[in-house]
């Protein structure tokens, strides 16, 4: 079975500061991992995904994430926060074989302080 845990339901950072959103996964088979962003009243948009090609994954809007098998983590980072980054962020996992159901974490709401 697959699952993800997102530490911190709310994260606040100052504009220009480092953004770090944490995600740990549990999977009995090699996982594929995803980060999605959800702006108010909108659907989810893919930021980036890890599919075993490279452990450091770069996504849209300056975000990146590093797959660390030893720590079972896939934390999302951005060097400098913008006001437009304020949104809810979801980590998700699926298995590398068989059904491709996405299992989502509970989300982290990012607030950017001017």
Q: Identify which of residues 18 and 60 has a Cβ nearer to other proteins in the complex.
A: 60
Residues at the site binding other proteins, with contacts judged by CB under 8 A: 9, 32, 36, 41-46, 49, 51, 90, 92, 94-102, 104-107
User: For residues 95 and 4, is the Cβ–Cβ distance under 8 A?
Assistant: no
Nearer to other proteins, 62 or 107 (CB): 107
**Contact call for residues 97 and 87 (beta carbons, < 8 A):** no
Min CB(6)–other proteins separation in Å: 8
- Rounded distance, CA 114 to CA 100, Å? 39
CB of 16 to other proteins, least distance (A): 29
Closest separation in Å from C-beta 36 to other proteins = 8
Q: How far apart are CA 83 and CA 106, in angstroms?
A: 22
3-state secondary structure of 85: helix
């Amino acid at each position: 079975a697959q699952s993800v845990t997102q530490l911190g339901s709310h994260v606040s950072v100052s504009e220009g500061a480092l953004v770090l959103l944490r995600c740990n996964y549990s999977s009995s088979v090699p996982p594929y991992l995803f980060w999605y962003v959800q702006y108010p009243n909108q659907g989810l948009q893919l930021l980036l995904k890890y599919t075993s090609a490279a452990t450091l994954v770069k996504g849209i809007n300056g975000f990146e994430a590093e797959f660390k098998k030893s720590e079972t983590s896939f934390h999302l980072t951005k060097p400098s926060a913008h006001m437009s980054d304020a949104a809810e962020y979801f980590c998700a996992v699926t298995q590398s074989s068989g059904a491709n159901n996405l299992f989502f974490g509970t989300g982290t709401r990012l607030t950017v302080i001017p």
